[in-house]
C-alpha cells in the first residue's frame, strides 16, 4: 500500500469490492451522487462523521480509511469468470497466437526474456530475469490447487479435453498426468526493474495488452518484440493454458503499486451444464460495471504466498506463473534437463545483453533454479555469457570498452569494421530520401571449443538479442577460424537519427519468430519500393565485409631469383568446388514425343543461410565437336527453389538439397535430341536490384 494513496482511489476500490455503485453509497449516506463522485475523483473529502458511516457500510474497522486498510479476507471475493460463447455461433478451438511458436522451453525463454528487456525501467541498472521451476506434490500441491480454486475449473477442463482437437489432447494428457503422478510443475518467470503491468483494466496500456488482447504489443517501433505474439508462449507452455500474473507497478494504478494480481485461462470453446463458453476465463474480482467480467485485485501477502507468487523484492516488474509447465518437443524432461534447457536458451539468445563494459552496466542479468516442494534441487545459476560464448562476448566487451583494432595481430584482438545499410523512406512519412546507416561489425579469433560453430556471423539490434546466426562461406584458403558479431540500429549504442530509422527498418524485416532479416509483409507495406532489395544488399554486404576482414595478408615478393623461385614453388592443389558451390546431385531425363528433352535435376547445396541465385544451363553433348547450348522452353521449381525470371532459379537459403524440372526448346536444338546426350550445369548469376 502506498502511503500517498488518495482517499478517493481507496474508496473507489472498496466500492468495487463490495459491488456497490456510487449511487448506492450516496443513497445510504443520504448525500448527492455528485458528492460521492467528488470524493472518488479527489475533488473533495467527506466530513469525519460521514467517513465513520462509510467504514460501517463497507464492513471495515474504525479508522480503516485513515490507514487505507483493505476489507478483511479480500481473497474471498475472487472467482473465475468465463467469457460466454459468441451469439453468432462462432467457435475458437484454441488460441491461434499460441501456434505461431513451438511449445518448448527454449522458445519461451527467448520470447519472455525479450519482453522483459523491452520493459526496462531504470536504465542505470540491468533488468533481472529469474526462472524458477517448482515441482509440487502431496500437501503442498493440494493447498495450491485449493487457493487456485481448481475444483471450480474441473468441469471446464473436462469439457474442453477433446482428444480430437490439438489443444484438447494436450489438456487431456495434462489432466491424466496430474491424476497419475499427483504432482504439478510450476514455472515462474520473474522480472525486476521492468515496468510491470501498468495501465487501466480495459483501455490501452500494458495490462490490457498482456491480459486481455491478442496481437497488441503496446511497444514502440524500436522494441525487440513487435507482433504481440510472444506473450502467447507463456500460455502455450502450460498444459492447461493457465497463467497467473503478479505485478509490482512502476506507475501507480488506483493509487497502489504492489501486489496487483490476475489469472488468465485459455481453453477452447466448450459447453458446461448447458451453457456455452467462448474460450478464455479470468481469475479476479467481479466488476460491477461490466456484467460477467473480472478485474485484477490487490492481494494480501498471504494470498500471494498461497499462490506461489511471492516476489524477491519490491522492484517493479511482473511474475508470470505457468501452471503445469511442459516442453512439447521433449517426450520426457525432468527438472535437471529443463533447468539446463532454460540456461542454454538464455545463453544462446541473450549472451550479448549480459556482457558489460568497463564503464557500463549490462542490459540483462538472468538466472535459473529448480525446487521440489520448497527444497532446492538445483541451486540458482546465474548465466555467465563469457562461459557459454567466450569469443563473441570478448568481441562485444572490447567494443563497449573502446578496445577494438583495425587489423588482427593476436588471438585476443577484436577488429572493428562497418557495414552500410540503406534505409528507404516509409510510405507514411513525407521524407523522400533514403538514410545511410553504418552497422558495427566485430571479428575475433574463435576459441578452441568453437570447432562446431566457427566461422559464423551473429546479428542483432535493439536489446542485443541474437536475431540470426549464419555460416560464412567462400572464405580464402588459410583463413584462421573466427567469430563475427554484427550490431545494427540501437545495438550500436547510438541514438542518432540513422540508428533509430535502421532499428525500425530491421524490425519490420523480422518475421514473428524474430530470427531473420528478410522480405516480410510489414516491410513491403511500410516502406517504399526497393525495401526488400535493401535488405538483400545488407545481407550480402555483411558477409563480404567479414570476408574482407579475415582475408590473410598477401605475402610480399622476396628477392629470390626467378629461376630458383620457379624450382621452389609448391602450389597447393586446386580446392574442391563442391563444398563451397552448388553441384548437380543427379539428372535424369528422356526425349519426349515433342522432340524435347524432359529432365529432372537434383541439386546438392552447401551450408549457407543466403539464397543461391543460379542459372541452369542445358548443353548438348554431341558425338564430336563442341557442346552447344540449348534454351529452356519451361522451368518448374519442385522443392527448395523458385523460378524468378529469364531462366534463373533462386535456391532457398539454409536448404541442403533442391530439385527442379525442365523442358528444352526444340527450336534451339543444334541437332535432333535423339542424336545427343543432354548435360545440365549451374552458373552463378547476379541478382538485379531495383
Write the CATH number for 19. 1.10.260.40
Per residue in 102-132, pLDDT (tens digit) is: 668 999 999 999 999 999 999 999 999 999 9
Q: Please tell me whether residues 433 and 502 are part of one structural domain.
A: yes
Q: Please tell me whether residues 493 and 414 are part of one structural domain.
A: yes
Torsion over CA: 628, 632, 635, 641 (sign): positive
**Cell numbers that stand for 327 in this block:** 516442453
Q: Please tell me whether residues 631 and 520 are part of one structural domain.
A: no
- Beta strand pairing call for 414-423 and 597-604: unpaired
CATH code for the domain in which residue 643 is found: 2.60.40
List own/partner pairs for 148-154 with CB under 8 A and 24 or more apart.
Answer: 148/244, 148/263, 148/283, 148/307, 148/323, 149/78, 149/79, 149/80, 149/283, 152/79, 152/80, 153/80, 153/265, 153/281
Q: Which of 55, 72, 89 is the last residue of a domain?
A: 72
Q: Please tell me whether residues 207 and 332 are part of one structural domain.
A: yes
Question: 16 or 641: whose pLDDT is higher?
Answer: 641
CATH code for the domain in which residue 184 is found: 3.30.565
Per residue in 349-386, pLDDT (tens digit) is: 999 999 999 888 899 999 999 999 999 999 999 999 99
Lowest mean pLDDT among 71-85, 196-210, 620-634: 71-85
Measured distance CA(298)–CA(16) in Å, rounded: 12
Q: How many CA atoms lie within 13 A of 112 on its CB side?
A: 33
Torsion over CA: 115, 117, 120, 125 (sign): positive
Q: Per the domain annotation, does 68 fall within a domain?
A: yes
Q: What is the pLDDT of residue 566?
A: 56
Is 435 in a helix, a strand, or coil? strand
Q: What is the pLDDT of residue 215?
A: 59
Would you say 464 and 118 are in contact if contact means Cβ atoms under 8 Å apart?
no
Q: Please tell me whether residues 508 and 544 are part of one structural domain.
A: yes
| Radius of gyration for the alpha carbons in the chain, expressed in angstroms and rounded | 32
Q: What percent of the chain has pLDDT over 90?
A: 46
Q: What is the pLDDT of residue 224?
A: 43
> What mean pLDDT comes out for the span 470-478?
84
Q: Per the domain annotation, does 637 fall within a domain?
A: yes
Q: What is the pLDDT of residue 408?
A: 86
- Count CB-CB contacts under 10 A for residue 76: 9
Q: Please tell me whether residues 539 and 648 are part of one structural domain.
A: no
The DSSP letter of residue 237 is: T
Mean pLDDT of the chain: 85
Is 266 in a helix, a strand, or coil? strand
> What mean pLDDT comes out for the span 484-491?
96
Q: Per the domain annotation, does 81 fall within a domain?
A: no
Residue 97 has pLDDT above 80, yes or no: no
Tell me the residue range of the domain where 669 lies.
579-684
List own/partner pairs for 638-645 with CB under 8 A and 24 or more apart.
Answer: 638/600, 640/605, 641/603, 644/613
Measured distance CA(456)–CA(442) in Å, rounded: 12
Q: Per the domain annotation, does 178 fall within a domain?
A: yes
Measured distance CA(614)–CA(681) in Å, rounded: 10
Run of H or E including 298: strand 297-298
Phi-psi region of 196 (alpha: psi -120 to 50; beta: other; left: phi over 0): left
Measured distance CA(389)–CA(107) in Å, rounded: 19
The closest alpha carbon to 210, from 244, 187, 240, belongs to 244
Q: Per the domain annotation, does 439 fall within a domain?
A: yes
Q: What is the pLDDT of residue 551?
A: 86
Q: Using 50, 70 and 90 to split pLDDT, how confident is the model at 575?
A: very low
Q: Please tell me whether residues 59 and 128 are part of one structural domain.
A: no
Would you say 187 and 233 are in contact if contact means Cβ atoms under 8 Å apart?
no
- Beta strand pairing call for 657-664 and 317-323: unpaired
> What mean pLDDT comes out for the span 550-567?
62
The closest alpha carbon to 492, from 352, 684, 283, belongs to 352
Q: Please tell me whether residues 280 and 138 are part of one structural domain.
A: yes
Q: Please tell me whether residues 401 and 256 are part of one structural domain.
A: no
The closest alpha carbon to 265, from 250, 276, 281, belongs to 281
Per DSSP, what are the bridge partners of residue 644? none
Q: Please tell me whether residues 119 and 55 are part of one structural domain.
A: no
Q: What angle do CA 88, 92, 94 make, to 5 degrees?
A: 165
SS3 content of the chain, % helix, strand, coil (to 5): 30, 30, 40
Q: What is the pLDDT of residue 576?
A: 45
Q: What is the pLDDT of residue 339?
A: 95
Q: Please tell me whether residues 404 and 314 are part of one structural domain.
A: no
The closest alpha carbon to 454, from 441, 472, 432, 436, belongs to 472
Q: Which of 531, 550, 569 is the last residue of a domain?
A: 550
Residue with cell 474441473: 154
**Cell numbers that stand for 600 in this block:** 529432372
- Beta strand pairing call for 456-461 and 482-487: parallel
Run of H or E including 297: strand 297-298
How many structural domains does the chain have? Answer: 4
Q: Per the domain annotation, does 668 fall within a domain?
A: yes
Q: Please tell me whether residues 537 and 666 are part of one structural domain.
A: no
Q: Per the domain annotation, does 54 fall within a domain?
A: yes
Measured distance CA(272)–CA(278) in Å, rounded: 11
Among 8-12, 475-479, 597-601, name the most confident range.
597-601
**Cell numbers that stand for 276 in this block:** 456455452
Q: Using 50, 70 and 90 to split pLDDT, how confident is the model at 622?
A: low
Would you say 237 and 323 are in contact if contact means Cβ atoms under 8 Å apart?
no
The closest alpha carbon to 336, from 373, 372, 302, 298, belongs to 372
Would you say 351 and 389 are in contact if contact means Cβ atoms under 8 Å apart?
yes
Q: Using 50, 70 and 90 to split pLDDT, how confident is the model at 226?
A: very low
- Count of residues in the chain: 690
The DSSP letter of residue 405 is: B
Measured distance CA(198)–CA(204) in Å, rounded: 10
Q: Per the domain annotation, does 383 fall within a domain?
A: no
Run of H or E including 343: helix 335-350
Q: What is the pLDDT of residue 457?
A: 95
Per DSSP, what are the bridge partners of residue 368? 131, 381
Per residue in 271-290, pLDDT (tens digit) is: 999 899 988 999 998 877 77
The DSSP letter of residue 112 is: H
Q: What is the pLDDT of residue 132?
A: 97
Residue with cell 525479450: 114
Q: What is the pLDDT of residue 25?
A: 87
* pTM beyond 0.95: no
Torsion over CA: 467, 471, 476, 477 (sign): positive
Q: What is the pLDDT of residue 240?
A: 93
- Beta strand pairing call for 612-621 and 649-651: antiparallel
Residue 509 has pLDDT above 50, yes or no: yes
- Beta strand pairing call for 364-372 and 127-137: parallel
The closest alpha carbon to 621, from 679, 683, 682, 681, belongs to 679
Q: Which of 550, 570, 587 is the last residue of a domain?
A: 550
Per residue in 658-682, pLDDT (tens digit) is: 999 999 999 989 888 887 888 888 8
| φ, ψ for residue 523, nearest 5 deg | -65, -50
Q: What is the pLDDT of residue 621?
A: 76
Residue 228 has pLDDT above 60, yes or no: no
Measured distance CA(414)–CA(55) in Å, rounded: 68
Per residue in 26-83, pLDDT (tens digit) is: 888 888 888 888 888 888 888 888 888 888 887 777 777 776 666 544 455 788 999 8
Amino acid at each position: 500500500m502506498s502511503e500517498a494513496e488518495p482517499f478517493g482511489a481507496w474508496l473507489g476500490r472498496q466500492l468495487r469490492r463490495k459491488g456497490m455503485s456510487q449511487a448506492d453509497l450516496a443513497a445510504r449516506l443520504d448525500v448527492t451522487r455528485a458528492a460521492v463522485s467528488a470524493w472518488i475523483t479527489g475533488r473533495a473529502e467527506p466530513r469525519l462523521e460521514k467517513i465513520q458511516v462509510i467504514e460501517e457500510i463497507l464492513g471495515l474497522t474504525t479508522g480503516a480509511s485513515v490507514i487505507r486498510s483493505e476489507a478483511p479476507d479480500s481473497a474471498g471475493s475472487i472467482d473465475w469468470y468465463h467469457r460466454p460463447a459468441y451469439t453468432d455461433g462462432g467457435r475458437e478451438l484454441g488460441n491461434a497466437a499460441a501456434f505461431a511458436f513451438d511449445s518448448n522451453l527454449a522458445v519461451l525463454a527467448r520470447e519472455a526474456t525479450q519482453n522483459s528487456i523491452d520493459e526496462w525501467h531504470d536504465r542505470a541498472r540491468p533488468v533481472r530475469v529469474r526462472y524458477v521451476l517448482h515441482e509440487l506434490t502431496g500437501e503442498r500441491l493440494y493447498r495450491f490447487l485449493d487457493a487456485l480454486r481448481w475444483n471450480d475449473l474441473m468441469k471446464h477442463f473436462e469439457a474442453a479435453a477433446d482428444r480430437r482437437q490439438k489443444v484438447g489432447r494436450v489438456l487431456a494428457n495434462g489432466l491424466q498426468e496430474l491424476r497419475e503422478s499427483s504432482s504439478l510443475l510450476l514455472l515462474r518467470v520473474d522480472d525486476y526493474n521492468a515496468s510491470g503491468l501498468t495501465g487501466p483494466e480495459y483501455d490501452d496500456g500494458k495490462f490490457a495488452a498482456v491480459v486481455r488482447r491478442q496481437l497488441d504489443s503496446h511497444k514502440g517501433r524500436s522494441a525487440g518484440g513487435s507482433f504481440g505474439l510472444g506473450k502467447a508462449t507463456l500460455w502455450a507452455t502450460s498444459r492447461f493454458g493457465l497463467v497467473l500474473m503478479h505485478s509490482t507497478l512502476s506507475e501507480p494504478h488506483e493509487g497502489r503499486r504492489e501486489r496487483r494480481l490476475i489469472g488468465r485461462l485459455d481453453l477452447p470453446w466448450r459447453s458446461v451444464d448447458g451453457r456455452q463458453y467462448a474460450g478464455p476465463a479470468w481469475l479476479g474480482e467481479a466488476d460491477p460495471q461490466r456484467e460477467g467480467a473480472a478485474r485484477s485485485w490487490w492481494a494480501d501477502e498471504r494470498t500471494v504466498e498461497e499462490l506461489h507468487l511471492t516476489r524477491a523484492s519490491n522492484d517493479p516488474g511482473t511474475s508470470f506463473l505457468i501452471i503445469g509447465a511442459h516442453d512439447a518437443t521433449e517426450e520426457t524432461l525432468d527438472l535437471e534437463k529443463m533447468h539446463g534447457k532454460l540456461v542454454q536458451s538464455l545463453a544462446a539468445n541473450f549472451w550479448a545483453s549480459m556482457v558489460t563494459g568497463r564503464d557500463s552496466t549490462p542490459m540483462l542479468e538472468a538466472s535459473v533454479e529448480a525446487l521440489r516442494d520448497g527444497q532446492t534441487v538445483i541451486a540458482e545459476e546465474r548465466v555467465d555469457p563469457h562461459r557459454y560464448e567466450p569469443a563473441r562476448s570478448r568481441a562485444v566487451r572490447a567494443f563497449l570498452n573502446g578496445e577494438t583494432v583495425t587489423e588482427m595481430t593476436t588471438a585476443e584482438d577484436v577488429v572493428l569494421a562497418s557495414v552500410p545499410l540503406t534505409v528507404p523512406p516509409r510510405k507514411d512519412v513525407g521524407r523522400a530520401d533514403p538514410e545511410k546507416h553504418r552497422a558495427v561489425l566485430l571479428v575475433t579469433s574463435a576459441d578452441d571449443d568453437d570447432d562446431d560453430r566457427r566461422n559464423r556471423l551473429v546479428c542483432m539490434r535493439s536489446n542485443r538479442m541474437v536475431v540470426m546466426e549464419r555460416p560464412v562461406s567462400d572464405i580464402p584458403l588459410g583463413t584462421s577460424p573466427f567469430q563475427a558479431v554484427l550490431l545494427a540500429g540501437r545495438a550500436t549504442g547510438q541514438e542518432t537519427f540513422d540508428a533509430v530509422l535502421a532499428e525500425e527498418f530491421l524490425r519490420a524485416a523480422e518475421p514473428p519468430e524474430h530470427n531473420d532479416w528478410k522480405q516480410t509483409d510489414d516491410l513491403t507495406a511500410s516502406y517504399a519500393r526497393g525495401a526488400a532489395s535493401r535488405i538483400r544488399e545488407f545481407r550480402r554486404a555483411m558477409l563480404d565485409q567479414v570476408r574482407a576482414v579475415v582475408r590473410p595478408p598477401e605475402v610480399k615478393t622476396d628477392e629470390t631469383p626467378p629461376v630458383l623461385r620457379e624450382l621452389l614453388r609448391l602450389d597447393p592443389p586446386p580446392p574442391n568446388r563442391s563444398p563451397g558451390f552448388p553441384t548437380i546431385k543427379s539428372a535424369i531425363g528422356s526425349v519426349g514425343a515433342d522432340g524435347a528433352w524432359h529432365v529432372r535435376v537434383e541439386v546438392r547445396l552447401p551450408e549457407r543461410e543466403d539464397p543461391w541465385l543460379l542459372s541452369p544451363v542445358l548443353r548438348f553433348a554431341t558425338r564430336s565437336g563442341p557442346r552447344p547450348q540449348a534454351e529452356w522452353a519451361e522451368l518448374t521449381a519442385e522443392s527448395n527453389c523458385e523460378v524468378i525470371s529469364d531462366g534463373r532459379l533462386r535456391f532457398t537459403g539454409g536448404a541442403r538439397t533442391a530439385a527442379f524440372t525442365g523442358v528444352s526448346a526444340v527450336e534451339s536444338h543444334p541437332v535432333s535430341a535423339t542424336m545427343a546426350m543432354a548435360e545440365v550445369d549451374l552458373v552463378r548469376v547476379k541478382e538485379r536490384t531495383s
